[in-house]
Amino acid sequence: MAQFEAGSSDYQQCGRGGVLTKMGRVEGLDAQHVIQVTVGSTHSIALTQAHEVLTWGRNDKGQLGRGDVPPENQGTPKLVKSLAVRSVLQVSCGSDHTVVLTSEGMIFTWGSNAYGQLGLGKGAPPYQNLPELVSCLKGIPVLQVAAGANHTFILSRSGAVYGWGRNSFGQLGLNTTEDCYQPQQCRSLRNQRIKYVCCGENHTACLTKDGRVFTFGAGSYGQLGHSSNNNETLPKQVIELSGSEVSQITCGRGHTLAYVPKSGRLYAFGLGGSGQLGISSTENKNSPVCVPRPFAAGTGPLSSHSSMQVDNQGPELRVRCIHGGGDQSFVIADDADKCASDDFRLKDPTRQILTLSKGRIEMLRPLGALDTPSHELTDELDKIFSNASCLNGSFLLPNDEHYGSSSKKHGVDMNAVRTFFQDLSTISNIITMQHISTDIEQHLIPMLPVSPPDVEALRLYLMLPECHLFDQPKLYNSIICPFAKNLLSLDKVALKVFDCWWPSNQPSFFNRLVVIYKQCIQYLLQLPDTVNPLEVTKRETGLLTSFEMLQKLNQMNEANNQIIPYHTFYVPELKDKVNISLDYINWLQQSTNRIKMGGVTIQGTYLCNYPFLFDGPTKSVLLQTDAQIQMQRAGDDATRHNLMGLFSGFAMSGQHFDLVNPYFILSVTRQNLLQDTLRQLQGKRSEHFKKPLKVIFENEEAVDQGGVRKEFFMFFIRDVMDPKYGVFKINDESNLQWFNYWTFEEPCMFGMIGIVCGLAIYNYTIIDLHFPLALYKKLLKKPVTLDDLKELMPTVGRSLQTLLDYDGDDIEEVFHLTFEYFEEQYGETRSVELVSGGANQLVNKSNKQDYVHLYVDYVLNKSVIAQFNAF
């Protein structure tokens, strides 16, 4: 395909010398199939179908990106060799700089950096004569690149707009006029669903999905179209175009064009001194004016009421695409019945970064286990699984629902992710699987940044655990735990994003994460002992990382009212592989700990820092160990007291001295067991209860070796929990007990009962208590919910759920409820207002949630606050 150029060629930017008044062939491109040409002020760039970049022209500021080029070679198009290993998709030129996008989502820049337009940071040199990676954008799935004279923009796949470089007129849209040396997000455009960006010399224009136009930057010529010549430092919609759906925009040096396909109208505004507005005038226009030319509408002939000047001679034309030069405008048009208008909001898939899709699975499926995949397929998969940008741009929600991604909205179709990786796990080709594993291990995970540039760069943390490689705990050291270390090392802002993202997914995705790291622990625990220092370090790191990852997940699980059941975190194998009692003792003493686990001894680690991993039997061991320690201390204190008394002045002088019993003795009668027990508990201090308990039944000779104590607790609990006693009541439907808030007993009675229950647990005695889960949640200071009321009072709970589920507007007529609680006790019915004036406040559609919340709060909290606090 031949390339022709004309115009000034003082610096050989036309590929020929002198001022050229006629179009001429750029001979150095004869052998190339060029798909894009872009020019700066004195240099030119061509992008070929082979995705290679060729440059020619001036090079005093590194514009050619080929290093130091001798003057005699600057006018000949030559390959940018440092990009030869890349597949370049897009290129855009500023006055003296260039920005390109590669297939793996990388952004490279070169040329002048006088205003920071290369995005390399404030300490970067004034120019760069070789392509340099804009590393701070790694992970962003880039959709488009664009360059102004001295500023640069990229657009992400979910509509995030980043700009950097010169900003003296506000052309970066950051509400400031300070130059930026690194990419900065234009946050005011985040939720506008931007689809296309173009730049003038000192202004910028953006096109949204629904065809609105935003402009900002220099406005002295009216190029912003806001009916004024003011500069704008924040993006502002071109109101006069708001009634039209624009599909194409382009910027010249100081003017802007916008095309509306439905009406076939082309609008222009800004600098008109060279006639670049096409309106038969050289006046500047600060609001959109229609270019008088007979262009047909995009869906049919030009409407009869068009205000454009129509030349009826010749075939009717339709705009294919528009382009802006420095002080020129170009329209490519063709016969209306032969062409359709381009839509800059739609992207050519061949010019977009690589992503994962179902189609790649279909390409892999025919391959046998030992077949060699094509080089092209292998190369694409290597790029995708080695680069975060490609993964972050994959599996986005359809219909542009991923636009406006934030800490509350990740924009990923997680079901599509799971389906893809499940399908991938069925591929038998060994070479492909080895490549994917190596890519993730050696290229992807090690390069993940601690401080990602945006939430879009975090999506892979949601997707990657769905990969089948995470089902193989033997890969704990190469993939699974390094992934967790990277995640846990993210800065606080990035890590906090997952506090919203993970709970927003279906519980099965969160559950998978927990299972992955539990499997790692279980795998490491079953490994044989080793003395190999390298292996010891690997296992130690693997265990600690798995513990920390599960701790993060558990914290999130609890903060979100248990996304999955708490017992999902249990690792029963721990009690068989680790001396839990010793770990607890060391944890209490905070000594330098060495625990043996998984065939290695881990220094300075306490499993008791991760109690959520312990199942019931393991926690029972901890309770017994703690009780033994406290009993031992209490016994030691008593012995010490007695010895000091015996050898003190009291004993020597014959004065009376009370010995302290190392046991807590309860002497009761079977006939008055409750009264005797409660009487003896009154006035006792907490240190008494820490001693080992011995029970004596008066007038009986049995010595308490545990059996008497067990019998005592059995009779006490049986009697005190009897509804006839009036302290607790039993729900007939659930058979669960709850505090009787109509009891005549003082709160101190509940305190004594609580002490007896505590003594039973403390002295290793199992007692039969029928409390709902709500009691234990309240003891742990966790909020109770409607689900807890459903467990205690099933019928009432279901009725309240029915109220919540009812979507009609006639709740008052159907349910006839007021903000009151009714209960019958001792043959008497009483009502309690849940809010002030609740007897006169009807429950309706807008306040039913408040009613249910207040109802649950009253039954489980407020009505029993005195009894529970004493208990």
- Secondary structure of 538-582 as H, E, C letters: HHHHHHHHHHHHHHHHHHHHHHCCCCCCHHHHCCCCHHHHCCHHH
The winner for highest mean pLDDT among 298-307, 337-346, 367-376, 704-713 is 367-376
3-state SS string for 460-480: HHHHHHHCHHHHCHHHHHHHH
Name the residue with higher pLDDT: 588 or 359: 359
pLDDT reading at 488 higher than 60: yes
Q: How many residues does the chain have?
A: 871
Do 236 and 304 meet the contact criterion of CB atoms below 8 Å apart?
no
Of residues 819 and 467, more confidence is placed in 467
pLDDT number for residue 298: 62
Beta bridge partners of 78: 55
Read off the pLDDT band of 315 (50, 70, 90): low
Question: Does residue 310 have a pLDDT over 60?
Answer: no
Rg of the chain (C-alpha set): 38
Comparing 24-38, 334-348, 545-559, 779-793, the range with the smallest average pLDDT is 24-38
**Rounded distance between C-alpha atoms, residue 640 and residue 656, angstroms:** 18
| Residue 757 identity | C
For residue 866, what are the CA distances in angstroms to 438, 529, 739, 871? 62, 55, 10, 9
pLDDT (tens digit, 9 = 90+) per residue, 198-224?
999 999 999 999 999 999 999 999 999
What's the average model confidence in pLDDT over 589-593? 61
pLDDT band (50, 70, 90) for residue 17:
low
- Compute the distance between CA of residue 833 and CA of residue 829 in angstroms, rounded to an integer: 14
Who wins on pLDDT, 401 or 727?
401
How much is the average pLDDT of 735-758? 79
* Closest among 142, 144, 91, 97 to 117, alpha carbons compared: 97
Q: Which residue has the higher pLDDT, 660 or 348?
A: 348
- Which helix (H) or strand (E) segment is 78 a member of? strand 78-79
Task: Give the sheet arrangement for strand 203-208, strand by strand.
Answer: 194-199, 203-208, 213-217, 232-237
Confidence (pLDDT) at 620:
83
What is the reported pLDDT for 7? 46
Residues 6+ apart with CB under 8 A from 60: none
User: What average pLDDT does the segment 574-580 reach?
Assistant: 85
Q: What is the pLDDT of residue 214?
A: 98
Domain ranges across the chain: 358-562, 618-652, 664-771, 786-865
Q: How far apart are the first and last CA of the chain?
A: 89
Output the average pLDDT for the chain.
Answer: 87
Alpha-carbon distance of 427 to 371, in angstroms, equals 12
Q: What percent of the chain has pLDDT over 90?
A: 56
Pick the CATH number of 786-865 from 3.30.2160.10, 3.40.50.1820, 3.30.9.10, 3.90.230.10: 3.30.2160.10
Question: Strand locations in 733-780, DSSP E?
Answer: 737-739
Average of pLDDT values for 518-534? 92
Q: Kindly report, residue by residue over 68-126, the tens digit of the pLDDT.
A: 999 988 888 999 999 999 999 999 999 999 999 999 999 999 999 999 999 999 999 99
> Which residues sit opposite 594 in a β-bridge?
603
Same fold, 664-771 and 786-865: no
The position carrying tokens 């089948």 is: 468
Evaluate if residue 309 carries a pLDDT over 50.
Answer: no
User: What mean pLDDT is predicted for residues 671-682?
Assistant: 80
pLDDT digits (tens, 9 = 90+) for 595-606: 555 555 555 678
Is a pLDDT exceeding 70 seen at residue 304?
no
Q: What is the full DSSP assignment across 569-616?
A: G--TTHHHHS-HHHHHHHHHHT---EEEETTEEEET--GGG-GGG--H
What's domain 664-771's architecture? Answer: Alpha-Beta Complex (3.90)
Q: What pLDDT score was predicted for residue 702?
A: 62
Neighbour-count burial of 810, counting CB atoms closer than 10 A to its CB (0-12 exposed, 13-18 middle, 19+ buried) = exposed
pLDDT above 70 for 305: no
